[in-house]
């Protein structure tokens, strides 16, 4: 028996009882409004993903319809936010959300204005609307979903404490691996942004490594998991959101011949997730 778990169930007495699962995924109990938001956004995400893949691979996705990327990233943001505030204490989680979004927009504004720290680049009109300058709102959605889901996936898989610096490093490695697969997909295939000095610069990945560490560290300071969700079972939603992106980037990149960065990114992703999984077994 787990008296803490019993107390948690009492505290969640007004939560949706059916939120014990969404298909094969195990979800925490949560208030009805969050339950509806999470289930609805998950359903939209699972419909948009295969439709988008078919359109991209068939060549039917034109420049005039790439605005749907903003919608897709917005849905990922909603899934991530509702799940984050459901598995962690909502006050600190919301504070972390505001801070991460503000930092993402601010860093991108500096990036497109000065070329620091990523390199010289600019965004296309496909990702409108812009927030400030030439920084799309969709990019802040993407940053948030990538970093938070990477942090939660590593945390749940490893079973480590929220403030574990090792988990910060593993989550940052996962973020960097996904970014390596993202770059050819976004910059070379879909032209969401354009590098002004030729191919994707090494400084972009160096900057992402440093920023991933910083963002994961911020999450480690703000995130306080609820007692009832301290289990690997709750890694499903973060892994689903990350997995959809990884599959999309990988398939599209390989069809267009971008093997090197994609393969390197997949290797880094596998190393990160494998490290979390092995760590949990050693901790038992």
Higher pLDDT, 65 or 143: 143
The answer to whether the CB of 48 falls within 8 A of the CB of 75 is yes
pLDDT by residue (tens digit) across 8-31? 333 333 444 334 555 567 778 888
Higher pLDDT, 254 or 161: 254
Mean pLDDT of 233-250: 95
Helix H, strand E, coil C: the string for the chain is CCHHHHHHHHHCCCECCCCCEECCEECCCCEHHHHHHHHHHHHHHHHHHHHHHHHHHHCCCCHHHCCHHHHHHHHHHHHHHHHHHHHECHHHHHHHHHHHHHHHHHHHHHHHHHCCCCCCEEECHHHCCEEECCEEHHHHHHHHHHHHHHHHHHHHHHCCCCCCHHHHHHHHHHHHHHHHHHHHHHHHHCCCEEECCCCCCHHHHHHHHHHHHHHHHHHHHHCCECHHHCCHHHHHHHHHHHHHHHHHHHHHHHHCCCHHHHHHHHHHHHHHHHHHHHHHHHHC
pTM for this one? 0.90
């Amino acid at each position: 028996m787990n008296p803490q778990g019993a107390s948690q169930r009492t505290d969640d007495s007004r939560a949706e009882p059916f939120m014990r699962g969404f298909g094969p995924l195990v979800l925490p109990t949560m208030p009805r409004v969050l339950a509806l938001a999470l289930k609805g956004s998950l359903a939209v995400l699972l419909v948009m993903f295969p439709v988008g893949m078919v359109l991209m691979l068939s060549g039917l996705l034109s420049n005039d319809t790439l605005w749907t990327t903003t919608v897709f990233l917005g849905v990922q943001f909603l899934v991530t936010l509702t799940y984050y505030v459901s598995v962690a204490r909502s006050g600190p989680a919301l504070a972390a959300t505001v801070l991460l979004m503000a930092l993402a927009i601010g860093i991108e504004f500096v990036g497109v204005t000065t070329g620091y720290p990523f390199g010289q680049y600019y965004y296309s009109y496909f990702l409108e609307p812009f927030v400030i300058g030439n920084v799309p709102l969709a990019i802040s959605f993407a940053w948030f979903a990538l970093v938070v889901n990477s942090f939660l996936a590593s945390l749940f898989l490893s079973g480590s404490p929220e403030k574990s610096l090792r988990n910060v490093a593993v989550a940052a490695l996962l973020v960097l691996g996904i970014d390596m697969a993202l770059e050819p997909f976004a910059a070379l295939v879909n032209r969401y942004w354009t590098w002004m000095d030729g191919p994707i610069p090494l400084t972009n990945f160096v900057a992402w490594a440093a920023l991933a560490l910083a963002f994961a560290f911020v999450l480690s300071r703000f995130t306080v998991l609820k007692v009832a969700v301290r289990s690997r079972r709750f890694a499903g939603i973060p892994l689903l959101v990350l997995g959809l992106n990884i599959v999309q980037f990988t398939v599209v990149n390989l069809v267009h011949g971008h093997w090197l960065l994609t393969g390197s990114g997949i290797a880094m992703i596998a190393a990160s997730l494998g490290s979390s999984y092995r760590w949990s077994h050693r901790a038992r």
